[in-house]
Chain A
Amino acid sequence: MTDALVIAGHEFSSRFILGSGKFDLDLIRAAVEHAKAEIVTLALRRVNSFSGNILEHIPEGVTLLPNTSGARNAEEALKIARLAREAGCGGLIKIEVIRDSKYLLPDNYQTAKACEMLAKDGFIPLPYMYPDLYAARDMANAGAAAIMPLAAPIGSNQGLAAKQFIRILIEEIDLPIIVDAGIGKPSQACEAMEMGAAAVMANTAIATAGNIVEMAQAFRHAIIAGRTAYLAGMGRVLDRGSASSPLTGFIQD
């Protein structure tokens, strides 16, 4: 497998992670297939809910990434993670600790604590976080297998509002940086990938699209384009125009 996304030894050829909370279960399968997503996140609190079991709607070969949404502190995140393990979800877990019902911003301090507690309990934590370098380092040191900074408030479709801070994480943290939350358009996903993000996660952007399946496809292509551009090495972008004749052309030897 070339250019695989590697998270704690798990290899994925797709760099598009799909959220599942905001659309119909029967559309999930189609969206996953057209997005060619290999990882689908879901809130543990939604598992088994409803007339259908969400697990039955996830195509085979797709890794289910449960999250701890509903947790307001590290201890609650650990409880939810354990419930996910009992439900048979495996060790990869996305940590979400939120103590703000308005913007649903992650609490970095509690999230770092949760990383430590979950790693000690045998989980592979993938923390959803506010892009802060120190917090990302703490999470990495605590055993996180990837860092998932938000691009903008969740559900806002505002795109890479936190771009400069995510760039710093990409440069400084030796773990996959997965841009999570706030991405509203394929072009924004592409931009995140161009700057070196390891993967992009989206849910609302697709759930609120006129045609879910086509939008899933558009995201897939955008993410591939951005990744390819990143690997190709971006052309220089200069602040000002540069003189085509060199200033030092008169030098002979």
Chain B
Amino acid sequence: MERIDPMKYLPGMEVLENSDIEEQVVRAMEEYDYNRYTADEVKRALAADYPTPEDFGALLSPAAEPFLEAMARRARAETRKHFGNSVLLFTPLYISNYCENHCVYCGFNRANKIRRAKLSEDGIRAEMEAIARTGMEEVLILTGESRTMSGVEYIGRACEIARTYFKNVGIEVYPMNTDEYAYLHQRGADYVTVFQETYDRGGYERLHLAGHKRVFPYRLNAQERALRGGMRGVAFAALLGLCDFRKDAFAVGTHARAIQRRYPHAEISFSCPRLRPIINDDKINPKDVHERQLLQVMCAYRIFMPFAGLTISTRERALFRDNVIGMCATKISAGVSTGIGSHTEEENTGTGDSQFEISDGRSLEEVIAAIKSRGLQPVLNDYVYL
């Protein structure tokens, strides 16, 4: 099969004028050499009032590993200062798992034989109603990446329906053009999450064999297009464990910082997903990102950008999640089910398979109890749609 050039935009993909973000991020990542940091540099970074990108590099380095406890303390103090004791809650809702891409590590990849499904409008309504009934006020709408099976209008309709059940609507769908983001913003979405997966161009090319997603720069510039389209906030992530996780984490922070400097009003947040086993391949797992390293990355994000949100994934086990909220994470999902149509037990028509295995299936009620038991305050909404 002929592979497309991952650095070349396909017809219809918007090329951003006046943007050097991609260049900044890729250059910074290429120059980042985490092996050159010393314990002294880590200590200096930990003591800095306003950590620089250089300090961020030190905090992500192997030299910082023995300082994890000190990092956790600094992170907790920053989280407390900027967010008090509040922890935001949300539920992700998968409305379609059709995908045109071939990403070797993903359960939705088009070559993987799974049950595919897409919710109808009624199905979306039923799922949202079931989630809203638990008391949830924020929803994150997700799709597999297929413009034919889950078009922009379909996603827009889902946003409109979501607005009738929830106060806050985010989307995690395929990257799109500025005018399409503006359209979805108008329909009620205000937050856009795009995982770059990896910022390593070579690695990206090896892992994303086919589909629109193979085009590296179009994905990298999604957050900037979303903000130009009027979205309030954007989230950044690398899928840790795909390539060199330290370099990827450094790129994530550099990307978020560059966007924040150019769009100072934007609300910035991070996600910290690690690779998980998928259907038909349970051997997929991060080789070098253990919980210790994951926590190091999360604390480094927090210390580098203390004002940014940080979401902890259901990929992680409950005890890990409970311990990072209030320390570095500010947002946690609850009542999660990553299959299609899996929130409505009675009908269960058209159920499609999950993208990955989750490790924490606790309900909203259970997560709220866990938050409270740590002396933290569960917050279901901190947002007003304008």
Taking Cβ atoms with an 8 Å cutoff, the residues of A that contact B are 21-25, 43-46, 48-51, 70-72, 76, 79-80, 83, 98-104, 155-157, 203-204, 207-208
Contact = CB atoms under 8 A, between A and B. Distances in A.
B81 A155 contact: yes
Interface string B359-386: 0000000001000000001111111101
Closest CB pairs A-B (n = 7):
A22-B84, A49-B381, A99-B265, A45-B384, A100-B264, A207-B84, A76-B386
Contacts of A71: 386
B236 to A, nearest CB: 13
B379 A101 contact: no
23 contacts: A21-B84, A25-B377, A43-B382, A45-B381, A45-B382, A45-B383, A45-B384, A49-B379, A49-B382, A50-B379, A50-B381, A51-B378, A76-B386, A80-B384, A101-B266, A101-B267, A102-B260, A102-B264, A102-B307, A103-B307, A155-B82, A207-B80, A207-B84
A101 B80 contact: no
Contacts of A204: 81, 84
Given A22-B83, A24-B85, A79 B382 contact: no
A98 B84 CA distance: 19
B135 interface: yes
Interface string B249-275: 000000000001000111110000000
B86 interface: yes
A205 to B, nearest CB: 10
B137 interface: yes
A153 to B, nearest CB: 10
Interface in B58-116: 80-86
B384 A157 contact: no
Nearest to B83: A22
A100 B265 CA distance: 4
B102 to A, nearest CB: 36
A22, A72, A100: residue with the most chain B Cβ atoms closer than 10 Å: A22
B380 A208 contact: no
Secondary structure at chain B's binding surface: helix, strand, loop or mixed? loop
B307 A49 contact: no
Contact of A51 (B81, B135, B266, B386): B135
A22 to B, nearest CB: 2
A46 to B, nearest CB: 6
Nearest to B268: A101
B81 A156 contact: yes
A208 B264 contact: no
A207 B381 CA distance: 19
Nearest to B267: A101
Q: Which of A80, A155, A157 has the most CB of B within 10 A?
A: A155
A46 B80 CA distance: 18
Contacts of A44: 384
Contacts of A22: 83-86
Contacts of B381: 45-46, 48-50
Contacts of B382: 43, 45-46, 49
Given A51-B368, A102-B260, A104-B307, A83 B384 contact: yes
Nearest to A22: B84
Nearest to A70: B384
B383 A207 contact: no
A76 B135 CA distance: 27
Given A101-B268, A156-B81, A80 B368 contact: no
Contacts of B267: 101
Given A22-B83, A24-B377, A101-B267, A49 B137 contact: yes
Contacts of A23: 84-85, 377
A72 B265 contact: yes
A156 B306 CA distance: 11
Nearest to A76: B386
Nearest to B372: A24
A99 B264 CA distance: 6
A45 B86 CA distance: 14
Given A22-B83, A102-B264, 9 more contacts: A21-B84, A22-B85, A25-B377, A43-B382, A46-B379, A51-B135, A101-B266, A101-B268, A156-B81
A51 B379 CA distance: 8
A21 B80 CA distance: 12
Nearest to B168: A45
Contact of A157 (B81, B86, B268, B383): B81
Contacts of B380: 49-51
Given A23-B377, A207-B84, A70 B383 contact: yes
A55 B167 CA distance: 19
Nearest to B84: A22
A45 B268 CA distance: 18
A99 B232 CA distance: 11
Contacts of A48: 381
Given A45-B383, A70-B386, A72-B265, A208 B137 contact: no
Contacts of A207: 80, 84-85
A167 B85 CA distance: 33
Nearest to B257: A102
Contact of B86 (A21, A80, A155): A21
Nearest to A103: B307
Given A25-B377, A46-B381, A102-B307, A208 B84 contact: yes
Interface string B281-306: 00000000000000000000000010
A21 B381 CA distance: 12
